[in-house]
Amino acid sequence: MKTDCPHCAKRGISYFSKWWSGSTTPALCNQCNNFSYVNNGTRHYSFPTVINIIIAAFGIIGFILTQKYFLLWLLPLGYLISQIYLVLYSPMLKSTKKQIDNNKRVGNFILLFLFSGLLIYTIIDFVT
Ligand SMILES: [Zn+2]
């Protein structure tokens, strides 16, 4: 049960690795030892995600209207259906150790920026 590697085009990446892969946590091909991942944009802003939201909305609205707890199973079911679709059909992008380190640096910078902004506003709020 493996999927094609974008580097060597052999079936070297497990579907489980593909499921959890991201730009900072890529999957490793066991044929050529290169890294690849599913783009976050593909993962979060695609057709299966819309289906997931619709199924989840049916579950939540149905539960609110009927108070039947089994309708809440539609939430993980919708998530699972969208994830299976994404793992089977979403393309994988090539990555290198250098790109992974750079993506982590960008992520750290964004977190630092957000936290320092929050800290500044907290200090301003405290002082005024
Ligand atoms: Zn490969």
Domain boundaries, the chain: 2-95, 96-128
For residue 3, the SS3 value is strand
Q: For ligand 1, an ion, list residues with CB under 5 A.
A: 5, 7-8, 12, 29, 31-32
Q: Rg of the chain over CA atoms, in angstroms?
A: 20
Instruction: For the chain, give the percent of residues with pLDDT over 90.
Output: 79
Mean pLDDT (whole number) for 45-68: 92
* d(CA 98, ligand 1 centre) in Å: 17
For residue 41, the SS3 value is helix
Q: Are residues 37 and 95 in contact, defined by beta-carbon separation less than 8 angstroms?
A: yes
Instruction: Express each pLDDT in 1-42 by its tens digit.
Output: 899 999 999 999 999 999 999 999 999 999 999 999 998 877
Distances in Å between the Cα of 41 and the Cα atoms of 2, 11, 35, 91, 113 are 23, 24, 18, 11, 22
Which one has a higher pLDDT value, 87 or 7? 7
pTM score: 0.75
